[in-house]
Chain A
Amino acid sequence: AQSVTQPDIHITVSEGASLELRCNYSYGATPYLFWYVQSPGQGLQLLLKYFSGDTLVQGIKGFEAEFKRSQSSFNLRKPSVHWSDAAEYFCAVGANDYKLSFGAGTTVTVRA
């Protein structure tokens, strides 16, 4: 079965600074990878996904993620964060059925 680790529980970043959130997965084959964002009191919104092809994936809200098979990683990045990016971010991995395994999440705080 697949699993996901998000090593950082909480990250604080200044507005305008860059952001990188780490995600490591465990799965024997090429996985399906997702990043979701959850604002307070809301459900999860899909930021981006990787199925195959180009290992650098562009998503919504200026986010991108890079799949590195050799490191079993799928890290999320944003060059310049905005105060509205303060939220909780979840990495998820899946195989070729319906089961998604989610990480425990990383909370991002943006300071002015």
Chain B
Amino acid sequence: ETGVTQTPRHLVMGMTNKKSLKCEQHLGHNAMYWYKQSAKKPLELMFVYNFKEQTENNSVPSRFSPECPNSSHLFLHLHTLQPEDSALYLCASSQDWASGILYEQYFGPGTRLTVT
């Protein structure tokens, strides 16, 4: 595997279910991101991890819970979601920004989530 992978690619869940999205990067990066992409809206940054430490929680509802066990893996745990949470969830990774340089982010293919 190369780049950034995400599983599952598609997920349908009821509002009372609990599920998890998984992201893995094979690029040797130290930073990982979760984004939400809704139709015709700019990407919304949800969470950022740098060297396994969470550095951003962009006012995301508590029904979304991230986990970063190491620099290569990132999870998004979902519970009691709402229909408006249906979207494409994208994971990305990059080199860290400790040097003051912003490096490009590499994206996975996304998980298409439908909440019924």
Contact = CB atoms under 8 A, between A and B. Distances in A.
Interface string A81-97: 00000000010001111
A63 interface: no
Contacts of B55: 98
Contact of B97 (A34, A43, A90, A97): A97
Size category of the binding interface on chain A: 20 to 34
A99 interface: yes
Given A43-B90, A44-B90, A103-B42, A98 B31 contact: yes
B74 interface: no
A56 to B, nearest CB: 18
Identify which of A43, A94, A99 gathers the most chain B CB atoms within 10 Å of its CB. A43
Interface string A41-78: 11111100101000000000000000000000000000
B48 A96 contact: no
B92 to A, nearest CB: 8
Nearest to A9: B40
B105 interface: yes
Contact of A96 (B4, B6, B41, B102): B102
Nearest to B6: A43
Contacts of A41: 109, 112
A43 B45 contact: no
A41 B110 CA distance: 8
B97 A42 contact: no
B56 A98 contact: yes
Given A98-B31, A101-B42, A43 B109 contact: yes
A100 interface: yes
B88 to A, nearest CB: 9
A104 interface: yes
Leading 4 A-B pairs by shortest Cβ distance: A43-B107, A44-B107, A102-B43, A32-B102
